[in-house]
Structure 1
């Protein structure tokens, strides 16, 4: 029963939405270069960075020496060509990718813009997908949408749709994402969408708390005969856990084991999750860090830090809960109510009321997340619903001590 109440707190943290590496085809014209030229994000004339004092003098080095966003990568590219040097598309793709990785979106956008203007016939789907993503980051989601709508029909490919859906998900634009997703599932069979497109929609639903909609996406995905990847399973597992659907969760784990595309890592993941489901408190001292032992599984495949915290709670590893919570608080990521609910439930289940009280204080003092009394009420009621009256009483007393009393919504 304790395990069921733990699952009530599970929500999936989304980190940097996932979009595949293959994206988009060319446009009939170049809307960005006319209406959304990257230079206009800054305004005024742009000055080329001085390069004379630098020892290394290749194209990448010149562009990466543009420290300030107002300086123009386009100017660097034009001067490089003017000096009689050659530029390959693969070189520009690598530069743009690295610029994106270091969050220098404006310069990355300028590089892709130069590619379209000078090598349009050789531009790949992935190049245009990158542009949609970069436009959303530099100019906003409305500009990215206008760019997408300006594409000709032939250019509205699987990659283009997925890229725009990713942008919507990143901005939590649920209605626009749903409208686009409807267009996606109603397109003719000439476009084939993989799991990554559906993952975008499920990730959005998890991030905005609409977990009940995740199974609907799974149903559509299966009707379209799309193969699930491990991230799809992670999202599906999280939605079932968050709605107390433990029987369905067990079925999902069994499906993972028998999935034709599964591998050894998937099986270990399913087995480890089963341990959590079947054991509310495993205190085996030899098993203090089961997740870290699975080095072959990537961090992304463990759903979220929230899931890690819940997992270690089920295993009775209070030290790991402390470490994960400390790591979350030290990141640059904005903590959501979901994370506070998760760690609160973990400490309550482990019987550490002082730490739970500290979390309430941290939440109430947080500048990025408003304290959610109704969420605390749901945790309290969840404990009661599964028969954990003692945990419920402890939590209720703690809420009263922290001035989150009945009149504020806790019943």
Structure 2
């Protein structure tokens, strides 16, 4: 009955057939578990002539805004600098905060070459006003468009005032994404020496250790975090929880779940129980898997309900809930509960 309710909760006339969705999700790496699914979100890439605004938003971009001009560009390498320069030549102001929003929007739609050209131009004319966060974003864009080697060269070229925790963290993230274990460990050690002991950088290394199956190093890093008093958040806990699943350590997984539930700063989320369900399924314990799946479903419903504060929030809550329901359905299918997933 539970899985049948899930189907009713997220299907719509315009959505894919639920069975098709379930089949699609079986492409998840069962050795890695649901780590990538739980820690990332997919974003659609708009056509070159579309507006980067959300499709559920009633607001529209002014037709002659800088944003609107840039989004219509077909060849970012040549045209974006021309568009920006023409804007200035017309006597219009280039507001740095507005440019940051434009770059963020292009990044959210995975139009990295567009975002990089805007970032390059603004670096050239307002370099002295740039913040470390701007440099960190620029480094990440270079890595995405031109590769890791060019990103490293950019990092080395930065002045001391911009070579700080944000840019170190951006470079570390590039190494994590490319699974460059040695380089990631080297930059992490440098960050330790500089006192940059933040949860986010440790989460990156935890992710890398899971992806490269270096679970003994993950255990050591977890101990270091506890020893230094570096707090765990939901993201880092979920990576650790997934490592237990990858290592088939069900006892460790259960102890960690209890720790999370007892942590006063952690609000339990559906995906943590989803990871646990995946672990139980790998161990063949369908009874315990169903128990945590029910907990997961209740949290999805709660999150969906709290998101209903307006049309845009409502749609986002429904979208996230739909993604969550889809994954839970794959777990039911894995359990062989075909009778539970009939429409």
- C-alpha distance in 1 between matches for 2:245 and 2:191: 28
Q: Does 2:279 align with 1:257?
A: no
- C-alpha distance in 1 between matches for 2:235 and 2:191: 20
- SS of 1:66's equivalent? coil
Would you say the 8 A contact 2:155–2:167 is kept in 1?
A: yes
Structure 1 runs of 4+ off > 4 angstroms?
15-18, 268-279, 283-293, 297-301, 304-311, 313-316, 318-323
Q: Work out which of the residue numbers 152, 161, 166 in structure 2 matches 1:159.
A: 166
Q: Work out which of the residue numbers 190, 195, 199 in structure 2 matches 1:195.
A: 199
- C-alpha distance in 2 between matches for 1:305 and 1:146: 43
Q: Work out which of the residue numbers 142, 146, 154 in structure 1 matches 2:149.
A: 142
Would you say the 8 A contact 2:139–2:170 is kept in 1?
A: yes
**Per-residue CA distance 1:55-98 (angstroms, 9 max, x = gap):** 92221111111123443311111100100111211110111111
- C-alpha distance in 1 between matches for 2:320 and 2:173: 17
Q: Does 2:139 align with 1:132?
A: yes
Distance 1:220 1:314, change over 3 A: farther
Would you say the 8 A contact 1:145–1:164 is kept in 2?
A: yes
Distance 1:317 1:127, change over 3 A: farther
Would you say the 8 A contact 1:136–1:143 is kept in 2?
A: yes
* Counterpart position of 2:250: 246
- C-alpha distance in 1 between matches for 2:107 and 2:271: 31
Would you say the 8 A contact 1:199–1:231 is kept in 2?
A: yes
Would you say the 8 A contact 1:205–1:211 is kept in 2?
A: yes
* Counterpart position of 1:176: 183
Distance 1:129 1:321, change over 3 A: farther
- C-alpha distance in 1 between matches for 2:183 and 2:39: 16
Distance 1:279 1:16, change over 3 A: closer
Q: Work out which of the residue numbers 87, 91, 97 in structure 2 matches 1:84.
A: 91
Would you say the 8 A contact 2:253–2:276 is kept in 1?
A: no
Would you say the 8 A contact 1:240–1:246 is kept in 2?
A: yes
- SS of 2:213's equivalent? coil
- SS of 2:36's equivalent? coil
* Counterpart position of 1:409: none
Q: Does 2:301 align with 1:281?
A: no
Would you say the 8 A contact 2:206–2:221 is kept in 1?
A: yes
* Counterpart position of 1:100: 107
Would you say the 8 A contact 1:282–1:316 is kept in 2?
A: no
Would you say the 8 A contact 1:282–1:315 is kept in 2?
A: no
Over the aligned positions, Cα root-mean-square deviation in angstroms equals 4.0
- C-alpha distance in 2 between matches for 1:13 and 1:244: 15
Q: Does 2:66 align with 1:59?
A: yes
- C-alpha distance in 2 between matches for 1:137 and 1:201: 19
* Counterpart position of 1:123: 130
**TM-score, normalization by structure 2:** 0.67
Distance 1:307 1:178, change over 3 A: farther
Aligned length: 275
